[in-house]
Amino acid sequence: MESERRTRATEAFFGRRKGKPLRDLQAQRLENLLPRFKVDLSVPAPAEIGSLFDFDPARIRLEIGFGGGEHLIHRALENPSTAFIGVEPFVNSMAKLVGRVEETGALNIRLYDDDATELLDWLPEGSLDQIDLLYPDPWPKRKHWKRRFVSKVNLDRFARVLKPGGSFCFASDIDTYVNWTLLHCGAHPAFEWTAENAADWLTPFEGWPSTRYEAKAKREGRKSAYLTFRRR
């Protein structure tokens, strides 16, 4: 219905919100578990974002659009002293992720199920150590490129919430989006590309778990690029 439509700015960054109907267990988990982990943007952000967690985190990472959640869960279990915030507006993906949180006991995760720009604007300045944007929607048609999440305005948001020396990590198998990201980050004064040789951008991030998006790209004959940009 028209009353349920997003704003034009929000619709620019992601498409549909829901796929096939959730199974009963998925729906129950979403209803009962998501409120326990969801970041509440209706209240002011705490000065120390680590206070959202039940421990004192050594680092805080944000993953935007975690999809099936394979990477987020892997990193959370691999780095229990790091706090993770995952953003995913797609209901089916969020239901899958909260189920994995319950199964694995990865309690160093907090979640947000709406527009990532809302969370970025809510977060305190210099509160994050790393932002991951992995296999985002490439919006492949030229007329839709303005919908890509990497943009001047969103890089401004990243620069505000990242600590000096913090990282923005980007992965994609779409050449035009990789080039787009290199151009936008190269033109932004707050970021510098960390690659030192030609092989760096083809080498997965340390400890990288293969995701279903990456597997699909390989099956279809596409190579992935892994870009890391440092916040100056």
Give, for all 232 residues of the chain, the pLDDT tens digit: 333 334 434 444 544 455 567 777 778 888 898 999 999 999 999 999 999 999 999 999 999 999 989 999 999 999 999 999 999 999 999 999 999 999 999 999 999 999 999 999 999 999 999 999 999 999 999 899 999 999 999 999 999 999 999 999 999 999 999 999 999 999 999 999 999 998 999 999 999 998 887 888 889 989 999 999 999 9
E strands present in the chain: 59-64, 82-87, 109-112, 128-134, 162-172, 191-193, 225-231
Q: Which is catalytic among the residues 24, 40, 114, 137? A: 137
- Residues with Cβ within 8 Å of residue 169, at least 6 apart in sequence: 130, 131, 132, 133, 134, 205, 226, 227, 228, 229
Classify 180 as helix, strand or coil: helix
Q: What is the pTM of this model?
A: 0.90
Residue 137 bears catalytic tag = yes
Please report the pLDDT score of residue 151 as a whole number: 97
Cα–Cα distance for residue pair 231/158, rounded to 1 Å: 9
82 forms beta bridges with 59
Domains in the chain (CATH in brackets) are 19-231 (3.40.50.150)
Cα–Cα distance for residue pair 70/5, rounded to 1 Å: 29
Place of tokens 């999809």: 67
pLDDT in tens, 40-70: 999 999 999 999 999 999 999 999 999 989 9
